[in-house]
């Protein structure tokens, strides 16, 4: 079995030396193929945890502006993640979003495409109180959650962030993404 060594600081008064070495098993070796199972299980536990353990996201989505933008996104149909993210980002000011970026990357599929990495786009922004959130309204979704939790659960990789003005420049010819080779080469459902 493979292992790695880590240093653990111990107060001199108790140990007589500054640090001790300990050997712990390398979890990638111990778990082997179980890592593919473990991540979705941990994600399910996080999602099922009572709300008191997760900070409340303060974003009022009941405004007429949100209703209008969501109607526009829904009219785009399914498989619209790149255009949906662009639409959200370009209406950010009226939706109460700050420091908005259009994000493109790859994510791990679920359900019928479980285990398949695919290209995807979503928005990340600051909301009331400065909390950084991921917003995904593509293909019928209405997802708003902590950015780091979203990236962890969706196993986001090859992530590229574009400010709104840069996204507008890239989409000027009607191409809403993907804009990078690694995301472009990923499978798109």
> Higher model confidence: residue 26 or residue 121?
121
pLDDT at site 78: 84
> Higher model confidence: residue 142 or residue 27?
142
Cα 59 from Cα 144, distance rounded (Å)? 9
Q: What percent of the chain clears pLDDT 70, i.e. is strictly above it?
A: 69
> Is-contact 73 80, C-beta < 8 A?
yes
160 is written with which tokens?
A: 């590229």
pLDDT digits (tens, 9 = 90+) for 104-154: 999 998 888 888 899 999 999 998 777 899 999 998 888 899 999 999 999
> Is-contact 103 161, C-beta < 8 A?
yes
pLDDT at site 56: 55
Threshold 0.75, pTM exceeds: no
């Amino acid at each position: 079995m493979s292992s790695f060594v880590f240093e653990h600081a111990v107060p001199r008064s108790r140990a007589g030396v500054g640090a001790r070495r300990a050997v712990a098993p390398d979890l990638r070796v111990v778990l082997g193929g179980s890592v593919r199972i473990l991540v979705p299980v941990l994600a399910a536990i996080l999602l099922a945890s009572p709300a008191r353990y997760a900070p409340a996201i303060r974003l009022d989505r009941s405004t007429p502006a949100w209703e209008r933008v969501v109607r526009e996104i829904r009219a785009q149909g399914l498989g619209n993640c790149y255009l949906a993210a662009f639409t959200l980002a370009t209406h950010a000011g009226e939706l109460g979003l700050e420091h908005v970026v259009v994000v493109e990357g790859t994510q791990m599929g679920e359900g019928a495409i479980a285990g398949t990495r695919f290209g995807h786009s979503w928005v990340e922004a600051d909301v009331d109180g400065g909390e950084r959130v991921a917003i995904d309204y593509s293909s019928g979704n209405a997802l708003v959650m902590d950015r780091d939790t979203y990236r962890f659960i969706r196993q986001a990789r090859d992530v590229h962030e574009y400010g709104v003005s840069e996204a507008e420049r890239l989409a000027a010819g009607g191409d809403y993404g993907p804009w990078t080779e690694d995301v472009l080469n990923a499978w798109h459902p």
